[in-house]
Structure 1
């Protein structure tokens, strides 16, 4: 259960970072808009592992022997990519408006790694219900909290949280690879 919570926190870091950014760039963000960010980010993070699982289930029998290595490589790549993105990200000016199109694209972009986690779940034959619910709830909460933090603190911590998320994914990959 602790591994699932840590995984959920790691997956939520992208959405959390973007939420912080939204908090300090959208000065007049309304409560219902904050709720929409949480619903979209949490919802996509919840359902992308399911889609990844379905895709991963079709290939599980072929690669079950290599499951720990595949899980490790997937989580390592995702974690390193998160760290790389946080180090090389540019400071783009974000408009002070809410857009369902934008929040949908952001939710998709921040949940691509959750898709890969779903593939990993399929390879390792891990049940989806509880992990997906935890991932969705934690991302929902982190998104809402991130916006409020962003409103108070600006962009000071954004990239550091994404780096932490990448490190957690890499450590989970090692945990799976080493079998403990």
Structure 2
């Protein structure tokens, strides 16, 4: 294979990974507005990176056999999950107790990572149709999304220090808005 073709494919994959990772950054920014320790931020970034690897891989594998209909379904599921996470965070911010209703730990982290990476599945479907190199694609997607998630979480953590108790409501609004954006593309 020609070197320029390989470089072109890698550059294209980095651009796609950056576009996909921006939702992880945005959602990380919203989730970073709740009180998180640095260790939690590390785990969240790694988990989202892993999800951004296996979701497109599943999409690539399935994309070689199925139609583009799954891409739409994955986007709808991701949007609904983000709406629910946003609503839970907004409700939690108005409660008297200090613990947020949903936290990116355990099952909450699984739901969070899944909602962020569902669009990667739909991208994987299209990449499967074009027979992209799966190991290169998922490695780039995982790395870029992990770095962008960390950036969003750390920035959100800084903003949380400024906003205090209202930061969780703002984070919920961000997640809710992003869920609406997935459901109503405009």
> How does the TM-score come out when normalised to structure 2?
0.64
- Report whether the alignment pairs 1:52 with 2:59: yes
What RMSD over aligned residues (CA atoms) do the two structures have, in Å?
A: 3.5
Equivalence for 2:138:
132
Q: 2: CA distance between counterparts of 1:93 and 1:8?
A: 32
Distance 1:93 1:21, change over 3 A: farther
**What is the total number of aligned residue pairs between the two structures?**
148
Which deviations, in whole Å up to 9, do the C-alpha atoms of 1:134-167 show, x marking residues without a partner? 11001111111111101223559x57xx6xx98x
Please state whether the residue corresponding to 2:33 is helix, strand or coil: helix
User: Deviations 1:110-132 (Å, cap 9, x if unpaired)?
Assistant: 11111111111111111111111
State yes or no: 1:143 paired with 2:141: no
Structure 2 stretches lacking a partner, 5+ long: 1-9, 93-99, 161-169
1:24 aligned residue: 33
The 8 Å contact of residues 44 and 104 in structure 2, kept in 1 or not, is answered as no
1:1-180 equivalences under 5 Å are 1-26=10-35, 29-59=36-66, 92-93=90-91, 95=100, 97-153=103-159
Three-state SS of the structure 1 residue aligned to 2:90 is: coil
CA-CA distance at 1:98 after TM superposition? 4.7
Unaligned runs of 5+ in 1: 64-69, 171-180
Please give the TM-score of this superposition, normalised by the length of structure 1.
0.66
Query: Hey, what's the Cα distance between the residues in 2 that align with 1:110 and 1:119?
Result: 16
Per the TM alignment, residue 93 of structure 1 is displaced from its structure 2 partner at its CA by: 4.5
- 2: CA distance between counterparts of 1:57 and 1:7? 19
Tell me how far 1:101 sits from its aligned partner: 0.8
Q: How far 1:25 sits from its partner (Å)? A: 1.7
For residues 142 and 117 of structure 1, what CA distance do their matches in structure 2 show?
Answer: 18
